[in-house]
A and B are shown apart, each in its own frame.
Chain A
Amino acid sequence: MEIPYTIQIRPDTGLYNAKLGIWLFLASEVMLFGGLFSAYILLRVGAEPGMWPHGWLNVTLGTVNTLLLALSAITTLLAWAACKVRDFRKFKIFHACTILLALTFLGIKSYEYHDKLIHYEVQLTNGKFADGHLIEKSADFDLAKKTGTVTLHGRIVEDEKDLMDLRATPAEKPAEITVAAADIKKMENYGPKHNTFTAIYFTLTGLHALHILGGTIVIFYLWAFGGAMWKTDPERFTNRIEVSGLFWHFVDLVWIFLFPVLYLT
């Protein structure tokens, strides 16, 4: 059975079916991310004064990722344009660039996640806070038994609020701090359960990264195995590239708002 309107324009919609399908799917995606963005607004506005983090994320890495995604959106468009002019070689080159840029984006995101997961906030028994990246835990370190020591590369502050706005904090050189387990009241990394900011940060960027991964798999499939369809039905293949490109541009659009919301404000 032949699938109708894969190439021809459907008279009542003025579009081929896959294009209307992807736009309806993107509309549902807007609502998915919209729900999470509204959760972000709720958490941010509802935070206690001075307790919403600023400057916790690496702006340089965020900027690099923004430019990588913008470039990948451009190579996606060029890949489609190459298909339209029936230049398969250029299509392969442009989409190879898209895949490489996407993988680089994911690599940087993984590095950022790792950086948060080895970053610890340690509440001390004297009421102060030690904060920094984990260097090492002694072999006998056990928080429950209160044995051993932990070494961080960071600083000690009087109040947890001093850790919230890292841009406002006077630049002091981080140093190596060794804390005995006996002096630790609570020790927690900057993972999703650390506070509401890290929770919404990991949720939003994690969901976005999953979209990047899914899009990359689809683009790779079309790039690696699209040759057969290109030979038999280039118009249909071009439409597939357009549809996957629309999804990719949407993923870029989401990042355009995620970057300022999480990294710059």
Chain B
Amino acid sequence: MSESEKPVCLKSYFRLCAVVFLVVVCTTSAMIATSFSHIGEGWTLKVALILAIAVVNAFLVAGYLMHLLSEKKLIYIVLGFTVFFFIGLLGLTLGAMFGFPTGTISH
């Protein structure tokens, strides 16, 4: 049974929402602190850290607010395909960046 089919208790949802919102506030603060900190040379490490925190944030929203932690198999299959094609999309773009024809002048 998926989460949305189970009987609902409004009070427990209030508690869940309060916890999720608190964590979102904390993760957002962590992202801002990382952005303004002096970690590493340049932006590479900072971008990686900030995106990692954003993934935690996204997991909370998708997992708890969208009930993805307890969904039906078909939805996981749909999302599996989506992730596969999404990674393919990014991979093709990044691959194209290094696929210049011979003689291309780059800055």
Q: A23-B75, A256-B54, A265-B47 are in contact. Are A81 and B32 (CB under 8 A)?
A: no
CB distance from A201 to the nearest CB of B (A): 16
In the complex, the answer to whether B50 meets A66 with C-beta atoms within 8 Å is no
In the complex, the answer to whether B89 meets A77 with C-beta atoms within 8 Å is no
Q: How far is the CA of A45 from the CA of B32 in the complex (A)?
A: 22
In the complex, the answer to whether B32 meets A78 with C-beta atoms within 8 Å is no
In the complex, the answer to whether B75 meets A265 with C-beta atoms within 8 Å is no
Residue in B4, B50, B97 whose beta carbon sits within 8 Å of that of A265 in the complex: B50
Query: Tally of A-B residue pairs with Cβ under 8 A?
Result: 131
In the complex, the answer to whether B79 meets A85 with C-beta atoms within 8 Å is no
Instruction: Please name all residues of chain A whose beta carbon is closer than 8 Å to the beta carbon of B69 when the two chains form the complex.
Output: none
Question: Closest B-chain residue to A76, C-beta based?
Answer: B65
In the complex, the answer to whether B89 meets A67 with C-beta atoms within 8 Å is no
| Interface residue total, chain A, C-beta cutoff 8 A | 54
In the complex, the answer to whether A15 meets B75 with C-beta atoms within 8 Å is yes
B105 beta carbon closer than 8 Å to chain A: no
A180 beta carbon closer than 8 Å to chain B: no
A interface footprint on B55-73 (CB within 8 Å = 1, 0 otherwise): 0011001100110000011
Q: How far is the CA of A76 from the CA of B17 in the complex (A)?
A: 11
Instruction: Please name all residues of chain B whose beta carbon is closer than 8 Å to the beta carbon of A213 when the two chains form the complex.
Output: none
Instruction: Please name all residues of chain B whose beta carbon is closer than 8 Å to the beta carbon of A117 when the two chains form the complex.
Output: none
Residue in B17, B61, B90, B94 whose beta carbon sits within 8 Å of that of A34 in the complex: B90
Q: How far is the CA of A23 from the CA of B7 in the complex (A)?
A: 22
Instruction: Please name all residues of chain A whose beta carbon is closer than 8 Å to the beta carbon of B7 when the two chains form the complex.
Output: 84
CB distance from B51 to the nearest CB of A (A): 7
Question: Closest A-chain residue to B12, C-beta based?
Answer: A81
In the complex, the answer to whether B13 meets A257 with C-beta atoms within 8 Å is no
Instruction: Please name all residues of chain A whose beta carbon is closer than 8 Å to the beta carbon of B50 when the two chains form the complex.
Output: 260, 264-265
In the complex, the answer to whether A260 meets B51 with C-beta atoms within 8 Å is yes
Q: Chain B interface mostly helix, strand, loop or mixed?
A: helix
A1-43: which residues lie under 8 A (CB-CB) from chain B?
9, 13-15, 19-20, 23-24, 27, 30-31, 34-35, 37-39, 41-42
Q: A31-B82, A242-B4 are in contact. Are A38 and B62 (CB under 8 A)?
A: no
A residues at B contact (CB < 8 Å): 9, 13-15, 19-20, 23-24, 27, 30-31, 34-35, 37-39, 41-42, 45-46, 48, 54, 59, 63, 66-67, 70-71, 73-74, 76-78, 80-82, 84-85, 87, 90, 167, 242, 246, 249-250, 252-253, 256-257, 259-261, 264-265
Provide a sorted-by-A list of 30 A–B residue pairs whose CB atoms are within 8 angstroms. A15-B74, A20-B75, A23-B78, A30-B86, A31-B89, A38-B92, A38-B93, A41-B90, A42-B94, A42-B97, A54-B43, A59-B35, A66-B24, A67-B25, A74-B17, A77-B13, A77-B17, A78-B10, A78-B14, A82-B10, A85-B8, A90-B10, A246-B66, A252-B65, A256-B61, A257-B51, A260-B31, A261-B51, A264-B34, A264-B35
In the A-B complex, list the 7 residue pairs whose CB atoms are closest, starting with the nearest.
Answer: A264-B35, A38-B93, A84-B8, A27-B82, A74-B17, A81-B13, A14-B72
